[in-house]
Amino acid sequence: MSTPQHDRESHHGGARPDRATPLLPEGEVGDDRRRDAAGPSVGVVVTAFDQGRQVCEAVGSILAQTHAVSEVVVVDDGSTDPESVAALDDLGAQTHGSPTVRVLRQANSGVSAARNAGIAALSTEVVAVLDGDDLWEPTFVASTLAALVQDHDVVAASSWLSMFGVAAGVVEPAGGSVEAFLPRNAAPASLLLRREDWQRAGGYDETMTQGFEDWDFYLRLLRRPGTRVEVVREPLLRYRTHPASANVRSMEARVARYAQVVANHRDTFAAHLEAALLGLEATSTARLAAWEDLVVADPSVEVGPVTFGDGGMASAVRIATARGHGTD
């Protein structure tokens, strides 16, 4: 990708329509008979970089929320693809209905800078972020907002997610306190939070342009003792999967990205070292057990080199026993 700082994949194909296409059927937006506007005002930031008309689908899913959204800001992080530029032009031209969708444009600076710029442009008490190629189910805002307002110690809320694209299935992150976020990222990047908590955390780290900026931000939010991130136990986020996505690419350098997270939050890791190490070991043990099950189920699979000191030898013994090998 020519502009690698943004964190999601590009999308090409399709022709620009002759005129802006409404994001929702006429009369659906602002229908007070089905949309609940009670509670604090909510604004949404959508970050976009060369995602074609997928960003229009993302905005459409925001406007279809059962809880009314007051403001929508789409931040174009330096798109150059003609179809993407045209889609963003169409969004900016749709000034009818409520809320009005605003498009902000900036030079390619990365998703952290785009999110910070979008949140700064909102005037709402509560803010939410959505990547331009993902979608919300209609109750995402209502459900996450309910989790947020019920407990002041909840500094952010998200939900389980359903993957679509090259991979499918429901993923069930657990959220939790700071300890849960040390061995892994425990919540999706799409979240809803109070503006004051975004300010208290200092926003997203704009130096993190290669991934894990959402994980880093959660740890910033959780610096205040006793706080936690709530994850709604329903798949209300639709997460688009693609082999060239930044999430997949960041896994190729996961250790380096994790090292940056640790360096940014060294005091937090030091204060909760036992939780961090035991969490990593629990993940390793669970994955080893899952691998054992796969190997036992298919005797044609070679075990390969047996490692020492990390459970590898015990795993090899269990596999050999399950396969009925001798005991001499």
Residue limits of CATH 3.90.550.10 in the chain: 42-271
How does the average pLDDT of the chain come out, rounded? 87
Q: With cut-offs at 50, 70 and 90, classify the pLDDT of residue 203.
A: very high
For the record, the structure tokens of 135 come out as: 């979608």
| CA pair distance 270, 51, nearest whole angstrom | 40
Q: Which residue has the higher pLDDT, 29 or 246?
A: 246
Does residue 36 have a pLDDT over 60?
no
**Is 57's pLDDT higher than 90?**
yes
Confidence bin at 29 (pLDDT 50/70/90):
very low
Res. 72: pLDDT tops 90:
yes
pLDDT value, residue 92: 81
Q: Which of the given ranges, 38-47, 172-181, 307-316, has the highest pLDDT on average?
A: 172-181
For residues 103 and 114, the answer to whether their CB atoms sit within 8 Å is no
Rounded to 5 degrees, φ, ψ at 164 are -145, 165
* Residue 93 tokens, joined: 């031209």
| Arithmetic mean of pLDDT, 170-175 | 98
| Tens digit of each residue's pLDDT (9 = 90 or more) over 215-273 | 999 999 999 999 999 999 999 999 999 766 555 555 668 899 999 999 999 999 999 99
- Average of pLDDT values for 58-79? 95
Check residue 253 and give its pLDDT. 85
Angle at CA of residue 169, ends 167 and 170, nearest 5°: 135
Could you please state the CATH topology (level 3) that the domain comprising 42-271 is classified under: Spore Coat Polysaccharide Biosynthesis Protein SpsA; Chain A (3.90.550)
Residue 171's pLDDT is: 97
112 vs 209: CA distance, rounded Å: 7
- Directed axis angle between helix 213-221 and helix 111-121, to 10°? 50
The DSSP result for 60-100, as a single string, is HHHHT-SBPPSEEEEEEES---HHHHHHHHHHHH---SSSP
Is the pLDDT at 8 greater than 70? The verdict is: no
pLDDT in tens, 180-200: 999 999 999 999 999 999 999
pLDDT in tens, 266-308: 999 999 999 999 999 999 999 999 999 999 999 899 888 999 9
Nearest CA-CA partner of 70 in 121, 111, 15 = 121
**The two structure tokens encoding residue 125:** 């008490």
pLDDT value for 324: 84
Q: What pLDDT score was predicted for residue 37?
A: 57
For residue 11, pLDDT over 60 is answered with no
